[in-house]
């Protein structure tokens, strides 16, 4: 609420061919849902499926315990970042909720929304953060920012030690759970 009025944060998306996108999205109520390997593997699978379906390159990523950073570059001239995000996030939510229903029903309380039409939620509502990037120097800075996120949060001493990050791939290709598209990465 702002000045007595309900305020809804909006995320404007610009689907411009040739632009990279720095994407950030958070777990529901900033909870650490991505601290489990199981949910991180759901996310890896979902990103890889979405990548095939919507044709985008991945240049960097990190899964933090409560949020995700991705740097992608769609290959198609016409695309929808909203559709890409939905195809990444929705399967993770469904798998996590299904897992909890079967194996840990008490754990559903952390995803509870008190809403009849959507009783559980894995991801924070809203569009998250989306920034179009066109400059090579900015792309390189975003990669560094993404990789250093676990270091800034004192989770590891060096970026390459964080399991769900592309930092290790940047040191030696093929090391991380999601392959990086180095062949399309802009070289300065």
**pTM of the predicted model over 0.85:** yes
Mean pLDDT to the nearest integer, 1-13 = 54
Whole-number pLDDT of residue 5: 57
Which segments within the chain are labelled E, that is strand?
Answer: 20-26, 56-63, 67-74, 129-133
Spatial strand order of the sheet with 56-63 comes to 56-63, 67-74, 20-26, 129-133
**Average pLDDT, integer, range 114-139:** 88
Quickly state the pLDDT bin for 18 (edges 50, 70, 90): confident
Task: Using the predicted structure, report yes or no on whether residue 125 has a pLDDT greater than 90.
Answer: no
Q: When comparing pLDDT for 4 and 98, which is higher?
A: 98
Helix 81-103, helix 37-54: angle, nearest 10: 150
Strands 129-133 and 20-26, by their bridges, are antiparallel
pLDDT band at 128 (very low <50, low <70, confident <90, very high): confident
The CATH number of the structural domain formed by 20-89+124-184 is: 3.30.70.1290
Burial 33-42, CB ≥16 within 10 A → b, else e:
bbeeeebbeb
b/e 76-104 (16+ beta carbons within 10 angstroms → b)? eeebebeebbebbbebbbebbbeebeeee
Q: For residue 85, what are its two tokens?
A: 């995000």
pLDDT-derived band of residue 11, with 50, 70 and 90 as boundaries?
low
pLDDT value of residue 13: 67
How far is 16 from 121, CA to CA, in rounded Å? 30
């Amino acid at each position: 609420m702002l000045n007595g009025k309900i305020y809804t944060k909006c995320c404007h998306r610009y689907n411009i061919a040739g632009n990279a996108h720095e994407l950030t999205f958070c777990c529901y109520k900033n909870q650490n849902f991505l601290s489990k390997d199981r949910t991180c593997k759901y996310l890896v699978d979902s990103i890889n499926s979405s990548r095939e379906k919507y044709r985008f390159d991945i240049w960097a990523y990190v899964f933090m315990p409560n949020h995700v950073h991705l740097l992608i570059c769609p290959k198609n001239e016409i695309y929808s970042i909203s559709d890409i995000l939905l195809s990444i996030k929705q399967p993770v939510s469904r798998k996590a909720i299904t897992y909890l229903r079967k194996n840990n029903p008490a754990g559903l309380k952390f995803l509870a929304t008190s809403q009849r039409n959507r009783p559980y939620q894995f991801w924070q509502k809203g569009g998250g953060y989306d920034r179009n990037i066109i400059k090579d120097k900015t792309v390189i800075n975003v990669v560094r920012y993404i990789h250093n996120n676990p270091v800034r949060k004192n989770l590891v001493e060096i970026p390459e030690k964080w399991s769900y990050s592309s930092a290790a791939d940047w040191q030696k290709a093929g090391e991380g759970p999601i392959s990086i598209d180095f062949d399309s990465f802009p070289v300065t």
